[in-house]
Amino acid sequence: MSAYRHFDMNRVSHEHRRTDPCMSCCGWRDADPLEAVSPAGSNQWVDASLDPMSETEQIEVRRLDVTEVHAQLDGLAAVLHDCVAGGASVSYMAPFSHEQARGAFEAVAADVEQGHRLLLAAFANGDLVGTVQVNLALPPNQPHRGEIAKLLVHRSARRRGIAQLLMEHAEAEARAEGKTLLVLDTVTGDAAERLYALLGWTRVGVIPGYALYPDGRLCDTTVFWKAL
């Protein structure tokens, strides 16, 4: 079940007030409500802060089917490549090429085709600027659970509330797939912790030295969960 929603970002206030019921719904790793966010382990790099929006800027968030994933491979790869270049701990080490990023999303496309993963993308005036995934392929005794992964926003598109929109839509899509529990993690101390708290996630605890930044430094991770 594919969700396609079109937003005029002038309807979203600086405090993330929601004026559309479809924005009240909907998160595994990723920015300070004032600064860019880097996630732990293999998951997210976003920015939850908001700058004044252009009166004409339109943000669209939608779930991509496998055909759209293939059509958007270069755009998706550009976002991932930019986030890793910016220091995000999202599974990959420097140096990391656009070709490697494209290969990563080709593997995601296979999961989407098999129904093992959801992939959502955010578009600003038609340009792909962010993405997030929901992993559905979990053990048989956890059919009710999903995992948020790779919440990514291009550095040129941060401070516009795009990360929050992606999270809200990811939660809505997970709920539509029958999921009632989601989990995620983020680099400890990053602004993402505040974003997730804002969105109603519950903090579980910290795992020391969980993953590496692209430059090889260790980072801790904080685990969160949310009931849908």
Q: Give the pLDDT confidence of 211-222 residue by residue, as tens digits.
A: 999 999 999 999
Which residues partner with 212 through β-bridges?
218
Ramachandran angles phi, psi of 209, nearest 5°? 55, 40
Residue 23 has pLDDT above 90, yes or no: no
Instruction: Label residue 194 by pLDDT band (50, 70, 90).
Output: confident
User: What percentage of the chain has pLDDT greater than the value 70?
Assistant: 75
Instruction: Label residue 50 by pLDDT band (50, 70, 90).
Output: low
Which 3 state secondary structure label does DSSP give 26? Answer: coil
Please give the DSSP secondary-structure letter assigned to residue 11. G
Residue 25 has pLDDT above 60, yes or no: no
Instruction: Label residue 188 by pLDDT band (50, 70, 90).
Output: confident
Which has more pLDDT, 76 or 12?
76
Q: What is the mean pLDDT of residues 122-151?
A: 97
Which has more pLDDT, 55 or 133?
133
**pTM value > 0.85:** no
| Distance between CA atoms of residues 134 and 181, nearest Å | 12
Top mean pLDDT of 9-18, 29-38, 100-109 is at 100-109
Ramachandran angles phi, psi of 65, nearest 5°? -85, 180
> Which class in CATH covers the domain with range 4-10+32-50+63-227?
alpha beta
Give the C-alpha distances (Å, rounded to integers) separating 186 from 37, 53, 64, 190: 9, 27, 24, 7
Q: What is the mean pLDDT of residues 134-140?
A: 98
Which has more pLDDT, 130 or 25?
130
- Count the alpha carbons within 13 Å of 180 in the hemisphere toward its beta carbon: 3
- When the pLDDT of each residue in the chain is averaged and rounded to a whole number, the result is 82
Using left for φ > 0, alpha for ψ between -120 and 50, and beta otherwise, residue 126 falls in left
**Structure confidence at residue 192 (pLDDT):** 76
